[in-house]
C-alpha cells in the first residue's frame, strides 16, 4: 500500500458514562489541556462519542467556543422515522451537528443482539443521513483461538459493507473483544496484521481508492503508554478509546501521540 495522507483519528467512546453536565466539563477541560500543551489541531482529528442525552449540550459548547472536536453518537436506528419507540434516527443526529456514528460495537452485538444484518442496515441508514459510520468489528478470544485474528473481523466488515457504494465515507474500528476493557491490548503487530487484512476487504467490497483513503482504527485498552506503538504501524490510522477517554489528561496525551511516536 502506498504512503497515504490519511488524517489520524483519535476517537473517545464514552459508553454509558458522564451526564450532560459532566460532558460539558470534560470537553472544556480537554480543549484547554490540549491548548495549554501547545497542541496544534490540524494534524490529528479528535472526536468524542457521548451518550445521546449529552449531545445537544456538547454541540452548543463546541459551537460557542469553536472547539475543534468532531461529535459522534454511539448508535442510531436502522429506520429513518416512525413507530420505533426509544430509537434515534440518523437525521436527528445530523441536525445536532453529529458527524460520526459507531455501528456494531461489540457491546451492542453482545448485549443487544445486533447481527451482521442489523449492522449493515445501520451502516446504510447512517450514510443515507449524511453521517460517517464507524464500523466496529473484532474477534472474541474464542474466535482468535479457533480462526486466528483476521477471519472474523474480515467477515464482519464484508457483511457490514454489503451494498454500500464505493464512494461512501466510512471509518473502520478493529476492536478485538478480548482487548476491550481488559488492560490487555493487542500487540502493535497483531493490530497491524488485522488492519492490513481489513484494508484488503475495503478494496474488494468497495474499491482500491476507498481502501487507500479509509481510516482503520485500533481499539482495545489503548492508553497514553501504548498509543505511539500502534500509530507507528502503517495500516493503523488512529484509535477508538474507551476507558482512557474518560480521563482528560490521559486522553489528551493519547491525542498528542505525535510527541512520542518519534518518527
Ligand atoms: P477500552 O479502551 O476501555 O478498552 O474500550 C475500547 C472500546 O470499546 C472503545 O469502543
Confidence of residue 27 (pLDDT cuts 50, 70, 90): very high
Give me the pLDDT at residue 261, please: 61
Residue 175 annotated among the catalytic residues of the structure: yes
Report which protein residue has its CA nearest ligand 1's atom 5. Answer: 242
CA 247 to centroid of ligand 1, rounded, Å:
13
Ligand 1 pocket mutation, candidates 107, 136, 173, 181, criterion most atoms within 8 A of CB: 181
pLDDT tens-digit map of 54-71: 999 999 999 999 999 999
Say what the pTM is: 0.97
Residue 105 annotated among the catalytic residues of the structure: yes
Give the residue, 245 or 2, on which the prediction is more confident: 245
Q: Is the pLDDT of residue 213 over 80?
A: yes
Torsion, Cα of 98, 100, 101, 104 (10° steps): 180
The arithmetic mean of pLDDT across residues 176-198, rounded, is: 97
pLDDT tens-digit map of 64-96: 999 999 999 999 999 999 999 999 999 999 999
Ligand 1 pocket mutation, candidates 182, 221, 250, criterion most atoms within 8 A of CB: 221
Give the residue, 176 or 40, on which the prediction is more confident: 176
> Residue ranges of the domains in the chain?
9-260
Q: Return the CATH number of 9-260, one of 1.10.3720.10, 3.40.50.300, 3.30.590.10, 3.20.20.70.
A: 3.20.20.70
Report which protein residue has its CA nearest ligand 1's atom 2. Answer: 242
Give me the pLDDT at residue 4, please: 59
The arithmetic mean of pLDDT across residues 25-29, rounded, is: 98
Residue 120 and residue 161: Cα distance in Å, rounded? 6
Residue 132's SS3 state is strand
Confidence of residue 1 (pLDDT cuts 50, 70, 90): very low
Average pLDDT over the chain reads 96
Confidence of residue 2 (pLDDT cuts 50, 70, 90): very low
pLDDT tens-digit map of 119-164: 999 999 999 999 999 999 999 999 999 999 999 999 999 999 999 9
The arithmetic mean of pLDDT across residues 46-50, rounded, is: 98
The percent of residues above 90 in pLDDT, for the chain, comes to 94
Amino acid at each position: 500500500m502506498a504512503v497515504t495522507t490519511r488524517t489520524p483519528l483519535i476517537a473517545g467512546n464514552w459508553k454509558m458514562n458522564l451526564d450532560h453536565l459532566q460532558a460539558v466539563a470534560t470537553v472544556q477541560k480537554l480543549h484547554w489541556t490540549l491548548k495549554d500543551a501547545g497542541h496544534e489541531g490540524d494534524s490529528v482529528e479528535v472526536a468524542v462519542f457521548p451518550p445521546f442525552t449529552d449531545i445537544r449540550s456538547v454541540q452548543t459548547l463546541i459551537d460557542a467556543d469553536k472547539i475543534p472536536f468532531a461529535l459522534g453518537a454511539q448508535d442510531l436506528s436502522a429506520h429513518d422515522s416512525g413507530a420505533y419507540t426509544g430509537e434515534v434516527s440518523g437525521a436527528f443526529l445530523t441536525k445536532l451537528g453529529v458527524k460520526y456514528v459507531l455501528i456494531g460495537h461489540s457491546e451492542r452485538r453482545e448485549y443487544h443482539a445486533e447481527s451482521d444484518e442489523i449492522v449493515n442496515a445501520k451502516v446504510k441508514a447512517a450514510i443515507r443521513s449524511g453521517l460517517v459510520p464507524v464500523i466496529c468489528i473484532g474477534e472474541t478470544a474464542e474466535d482468535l483461538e479457533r480462526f486466528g485474528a483476521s477471519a472474523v473481523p474480515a467477515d464482519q466488515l464484508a457483511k457490514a459493507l454489503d451494498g454500500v457504494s464505493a464512494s461512501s465515507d466510512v471509518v473502520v474500528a478493529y476492536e478485538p473483544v478480548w482487548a476491550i476493557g481488559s488492560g490487555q491490548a493487542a500487540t502493535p503487530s497483531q493490530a497491524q496484521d488485522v488492519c492490513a487484512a481489513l484494508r484488503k476487504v475495503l478494496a474488494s467490497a468497495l474499491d482500491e481508492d476507498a481502501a487507500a483513503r479509509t481510516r482503520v482504527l485500533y481499539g482495545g485498552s489503548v492508553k497514553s503508554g501504548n498509543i505511539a506503538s500502534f500509530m507507528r504501524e502503517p495500516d493503523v490510522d488512529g484509535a477508538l478509546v474507551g476507558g482512557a477517554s474518560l480521563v482528560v489528561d490521559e486522553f489528551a496525551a493519547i491525542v498528542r501521540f505525535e510527541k512520542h511516536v518519534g518518527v
